[in-house]
């Protein structure tokens, strides 16, 4: 049985990806900050009910040594890591003139350094396996910029460069790396935006609706499947036509 490790998977897009990859037959290695993140939801039970194995590997993925331990623990527990989904992410929005160093550094650490950490440690495991799929959550903010998100846009643009780099470094080892760039998806992350911010975003979307986490999970499922075996180093925008 193949295993998928999904960071930040207690809720939102990460939880939807876990459910979808479980439906595809993957055992699921959940990760989030701590056990408490899983307390008020039934995502692990829902995944197990599909007949696959599921375990939680808690830890802050912005920390290098924590990621090394998570990667080794998942590999030891399941025997392989076939799919890595770099999903954990945060926002600390503010216009550049008022953005603090802490706001900048925290978003870079969680959104960007975590991807370096996981690509390194899981990449080493995948190299030995001679196969693997790495899928990272970028954002339209990383492609086009977004006012109030200097920190977030920087982290998401970096993920695109990192994805292309690891695709080139590990392509000959049978490992693919791709990114998805969601637009506005309904999750706890976007719930905190003001009605004015949400309306401004909606006006730019060709399909005139927000996306659902399952619509990201479907594309991740494709990138984790055999159907995408010759797709690597790519960024797939999933935004209902935010930009064309």
In whole angstroms, the minimum distance from the beta carbon of 229 to ligand NAD comes to 24
Q: What's the distance, CA 4 to chain centroid?
A: 12
Please tell me the distance from the alpha carbon of residue 216 to that of residue 187, in angstroms, as a whole number. 12
Please tell me the distance from the alpha carbon of residue 115 to that of residue 124, in angstroms, as a whole number. 14
Among 144, 152, 210, 230, the active-site one is 152
216 in Cβ contact with 238 (< 8 Å): yes
Please tell me the distance from the alpha carbon of residue 53 to that of residue 26, in angstroms, as a whole number. 8
170 in Cβ contact with 199 (< 8 Å): no
Is the Cβ of residue 56 or residue 185 nearer to ligand NAD in the bound state? 185
In whole angstroms, the minimum distance from the beta carbon of 174 to ligand NAD comes to 26
Per the annotation, the verdict on 152 as an active-site residue is yes
Residues in the chain: 244
Please tell me the distance from the alpha carbon of residue 205 to that of residue 182, in angstroms, as a whole number. 12
Is the Cβ of residue 7 or residue 221 nearer to ligand NAD in the bound state? 7
The footprint of ligand NAD (CB under 6 A) covers 7-8, 10-14, 31-33, 37, 60-62, 87-90, 110, 137, 139, 182, 184-185, 187-190
Is the Cβ of residue 36 or residue 79 nearer to ligand NAD in the bound state? 36
In whole angstroms, the minimum distance from the beta carbon of 230 to ligand NAD comes to 25
Is the Cβ of residue 5 or residue 171 nearer to ligand NAD in the bound state? 5
Question: Active-site residue numbers?
Answer: 152
């Amino acid at each position: 049985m193949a295993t998928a490790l999904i960071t930040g998977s207690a809720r939102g897009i990460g939880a939807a990806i876990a459910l979808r990859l479980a439906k595809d037959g993957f055992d699921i290695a959940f990760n989030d900050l701590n056990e408490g993140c899983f307390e008020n939801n039934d995502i692990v039970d829902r995944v197990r009910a599909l007949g696959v194995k599921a375990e939680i590997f808690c830890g802050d993925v912005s920390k290098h040594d924590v990621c090394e331990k998570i990667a080794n623990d998942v590999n030891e527990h399941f025997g392989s890591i076939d799919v890595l989904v770099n999903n954990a992410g945060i926002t600390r929005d503010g216009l550049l003139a008022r953005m603090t160093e802490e706001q900048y550094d925290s978003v870079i650490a969680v959104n960007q350094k975590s991807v370096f950490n996981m690509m390194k440690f899981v990449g080493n495991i995948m190299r030995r396996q001679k196969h693997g799929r790495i899928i990272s959550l970028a954002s339209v903010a990383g492609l086009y910029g977004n006012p109030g998100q200097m920190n977030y846009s920087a982290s998401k643009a970096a993920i695109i460069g990192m994805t292309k780099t690891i695709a080139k470094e590990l392509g000959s080892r049978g490992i693919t790396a791709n990114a998805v760039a969601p637009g506005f998806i309904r999750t706890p992350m976007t719930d905190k935006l003001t009605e004015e911010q949400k309306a401004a975003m909606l006006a730019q979307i060709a399909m005139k609706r927000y996306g659902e986490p399952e619509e990201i999970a479907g594309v991740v499922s494709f990138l984790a499947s055999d159907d995408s075996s010759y797709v690597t180093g790519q960024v797939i925008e999933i935004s209902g036509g935010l930009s064309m």
